Amino acid sequence: METIFDNLSIDRKDIKWEEHLYSLTPVEEVDGIWFKREDKFAPLGYGGINGSKLRQCIWLTSEYVKNADNPVGIISGTSVKSPQLPMGSAVAEHFGLDSVHVIGATKPHIAMKHENVASATWFNAKFFVNPNIAYNPVLQKKCQEILNNSPEARDFFYLEYGITLDHKAKWNTAQRIEQFHYVGSEQVKNIPDHIETLIIPAGSCNSCTSILYGLAKYKPANLKDVYLIGIGPNKIDFIEERLDIISNVSGINTKPYIRQYHDSPKMMEKHNSPFDIEPLPNWNYNLHHYDLHTTKYVDYQDEMNYTHGDIDFHPTYEGKMMTYVNEKYPHLFNNKTMVWIVGSKPYKEKMYEILNERLGDFPTELKEFHYAQ
């Protein structure tokens, strides 16, 4: 299956991934529904690392390489199940950087049983294993300890959890937040004119925020309704805060919408003003939000398989969204609806077809990172 990359390689002598950050992924009709195929942002082939988060990871790393005095590596802390592991490691490998990941509540030989850990190790990543605790705040704290105390990692770029920029962290400026979301916002450009409804999975909501920014910029001609299907913990406040920051930097009204937060009436009341409740002048749309996590429709750690035509949806994200909409609101699946595929599940076997000569066989042992504590 084709991707938007004309040369599938990890070597910069063959291709520079950052030069494709603004290439538009296709919009395709499959069995009566339109899909935005961000899963085809896949520089190592379809089924390898892919999607909106990968685009953001490439942007963050390229900015680090351009602006740091001594760009030598990246460090992150995340779950052994997270696609951030192979994404961060592959992007680091592409830019000629080292990569270190902090993981927890496991042992090296057990961690290697997880596909994302095995893939990251294949991309020459090293791991600091926190044996007893996997709570995210503990992993992030350990990242900061390593950055502060390890001479080898002192100049590393801290790849934040979820491949994002915390807008409450003192090291991230409002301008940088806007630039981060600008990259993804451009993907709105090729929404077909006849589309009236968008359906978007809402996990970390970085992609949601970028899409909403793009809608405010490009105002798709006939868009009437946008549905955010919340997969994890409720991130409405995050979206609202981020869009305020983007508005302040860009001068664009990033909220030309009427809130319909169906499972979160208190949040809707919190963010509404008397002006918001009335139809907005000029261009506007209804922003719906359904919360699968808080309403206990499904737990974040659960998986739901779903296929439509030849599309196999990510069981943690789009699979849940498609299952929910098909069960509760099947009328939304029609020829005037576009479903936004943020990404698909990466498989190391798919990347092996491209990289086996370059990287060899998959390693069997974890590469550990040590530093004087």
Q: Would you say 83 and 118 are in contact if contact means Cβ atoms under 8 Å apart?
A: no
HEC assignment per residue over 180-201: HHHHHHHHHHHCCCCCCEEEEE
Residue 330: which residues within 8 A CB-CB, separation 6 or more? none
Packed helices 348-359 and 115-122: angle between N→C axes, nearest 10 degrees: 20
Q: How far is CA 73 from CA 70, 90, 231, 369, in A?
A: 9, 12, 32, 13
Residue 40: which residues within 8 A CB-CB, separation 6 or more? 1, 2, 3, 4, 25, 26, 46, 50
pLDDT for position 276: 52
Task: Please provide the DSSP assignment of 53-100 as one string.
Answer: HHHHHHHHHHHHHHH-SS--EEEEE--TT-THHHHHHHHHHHTT-EEE
User: Which one-letter DSSP state was computed for residue 5?
Assistant: -
pTM beyond cutoff 0.75: yes
Rounded to an integer, what distance in angstroms lies between the CA atom of residue 262 and that of residue 183?
Answer: 29
Instruction: Please name every residue paired with 104 in a beta bridge, in sequence order, or none if there are none.
Output: 130
pLDDT for position 99: 98
Please report, as a single letter, which amino acid is at residue 129. V
pLDDT for position 357: 92
Which residue ranges form the domains of the chain, and what is each CATH number?
54-166 (3.40.50.1100), 173-341 (3.40.50)
Burial level of 119, CB count in 10 A (0-12/13-18/19+)?
A: buried
Q: How far is CA 79 from CA 27, 73, 133, 136, in A?
A: 32, 20, 11, 8
Q: Would you say 343 and 51 are in contact if contact means Cβ atoms under 8 Å apart?
A: yes
pLDDT tens-digit profile, the chain (373 residues) = 789 999 999 999 999 999 999 999 999 999 999 999 999 999 999 999 999 999 999 999 999 999 999 999 999 999 998 999 999 999 999 999 999 999 999 999 999 999 999 999 999 999 999 988 899 999 999 999 999 999 999 999 999 999 999 999 999 999 999 999 999 999 999 999 999 999 999 999 999 999 999 999 999 999 999 999 999 999 999 999 999 999 999 999 999 999 999 999 999 999 986 555 455 567 899 999 999 999 999 998 899 999 999 999 999 999 999 999 999 999 999 999 999 999 999 999 999 989 999 999 999 999 999 987 7
pLDDT for position 32: 95
Residue 268: which residues within 8 A CB-CB, separation 6 or more? 259, 260, 261
Rounded to an integer, what distance in angstroms lies between the CA atom of residue 57 and that of residue 279?
Answer: 37
